[in-house]
Amino acid sequence: MGRPVTIFTGQWADLEFEELCALVSKMGYDGVELAVWGKGVDVEKGAVDDAYVQSLKGTLGKYGLVCKAIGTHIVGQCVGDAPDPRLNGFAPAEYADDPKAIREWAVRQMMASPAFAKKMGATVVTGFVGSPIWKYLYSFPQTTEEMVEAGFQEIYDLWAPIMEEYRKHDMKFALEVHPGEIAFDYYSTIRLLEKFRDYPEFGINFDPSHLFWQGVTPHLFLKDICELGRLYHVHMKDAAVTLDGRSGLLGSHIDFGDLRRGWNFRSLGHGQVDFEEIIRVLNAYGYDGPLSVEWEDSGMDRVDGATEAAAFVRKVDFKPSDIKFDESMGTN
């Protein structure tokens, strides 16, 4: 169909910005879903400094690239998570071990993100929102409905002022449904979207890989999100479930890529996600936004894998029909 094929740069944040752009172009992509962390990207500066933004856009243009989305995943996580020492790795070092300071920094970043995104020419900001109740995933010790509702309300209270800033800039925020988020599967997503029903700025970044290993059928989830009018961005990412009688879906505290795990992310086309059904749903609902590769495969070279992934997306992204096939038969 010719949708833009982009790459999420979060897994490439170790590269200097120009080196990143040169590589993305060489691997065959049209543009980027630009992560706001790593080398050479400063979202707060970008919100107010036009010269800085023009420098970033100039480097992208030098390599024939555009910025279709801004990715704020690790920043947004710091807004809504419960205090967690692991957030020290996401926030600037000066805020380490200070949950209040980490959250305040993250809110500032998220408040700046719609202005930065608009200046970069993006139409959507992707990301996470965190979860104060992820530790309650399994209901032992017993979790009450009141505890769960309090968690959803806390996320709403934290993010509603941010969504007001998005409204001011006519910008969409697309939550990536993901373990560790308050919306991590089908029903938790529906519940969160209902909570944000008065904020059409708040929608979904569809990523099939996180749904697939949980047993949720990705294209059915996608169809329902499209029906709600809340699909704002699409990740192309694959996964494989390899349960062998010993492994489990919860991962056993074993690192990604280890063959003992019950599931792993795979480079596109090397897993089990049915991308044809996903494209058929996108075609049916007229989605013409980017297809953004989030490349994660601990068993494959990342440049080889991401290069192959760009070609895979172009191959699978077929055009919808513009006629009813039997009408072309004609009559006498």
- What pLDDT is recorded for position 319? 87
Tell me: the pLDDT tens digits for 111-156? Answer: 999 999 999 999 999 999 999 999 999 999 999 999 999 999 999 9
Cα distance between residue 155 and residue 265, in whole Å: 28
What is the reported pLDDT for 115?
98
- Mean pLDDT is lowest, of 38-52, 166-180, 213-227, 297-311, for 38-52
For CA atoms 137, 143, 144, 148, give the dihedral sign: negative
Greater confidence (327 vs 16) lies with: 16
At a CB cut-off of 8 Å and minimum separation 6, what does 97 contact?
85, 88
Of the pLDDT bands very low, low, confident and very high (cuts 50, 70, 90), residue 245 is very high
Q: What is the pLDDT of residue 273?
A: 98
Per-residue pLDDT of 257-286, as tens digits, reads 999 999 999 999 999 999 999 999 999 999
Distance from chain centroid for Cα 64? 23
Q: Return the pLDDT at 328.
A: 60
Average pLDDT over the chain, rounded to an integer: 96
pTM equals 0.96
299: pLDDT strictly greater than 90: yes
Among the residues of the chain, which ranges form H helices? 17-26, 43-48, 50-62, 73-80, 99-120, 145-168, 186-195, 208-212, 218-227, 275-284, 302-316
Give percent above pLDDT 90 in the chain. 94
For 24-44, write each residue's pLDDT tens digit.
999 999 999 999 998 879 999
Distance from C-alpha of 4 to C-alpha of 1, rounded to nearest angstrom = 9
Worst-scoring range by mean pLDDT, 103-117, 209-223, 317-331?
317-331
Model pLDDT, residue 331? 56
Whichever domain contains 34, its CATH number is 3.20.20.150
**Domain range enclosing 11:** 5-329
**Contacts of 328 by beta carbon, 8 Å cutoff, 6+ apart:** none
Q: What is the pLDDT of residue 330?
A: 60
User: Which pLDDT value is given to residue 43?
Assistant: 96
Q: How many domains are there within the chain? A: 1
Is a pLDDT exceeding 60 seen at residue 1? Answer: no
Is 332 a residue whose pLDDT tops 60?
A: no
Query: For residue 200, which amino acid is it?
Result: P
SS3 for 142?
A: coil
3-state SS assignment for residue 240: strand
For residue 39, give Cα distances in angstroms to 6, 167, 234: 19, 29, 25
Stretch 242-255: mean pLDDT: 96
pLDDT at 40: 74
pLDDT > 80? residue 165: yes
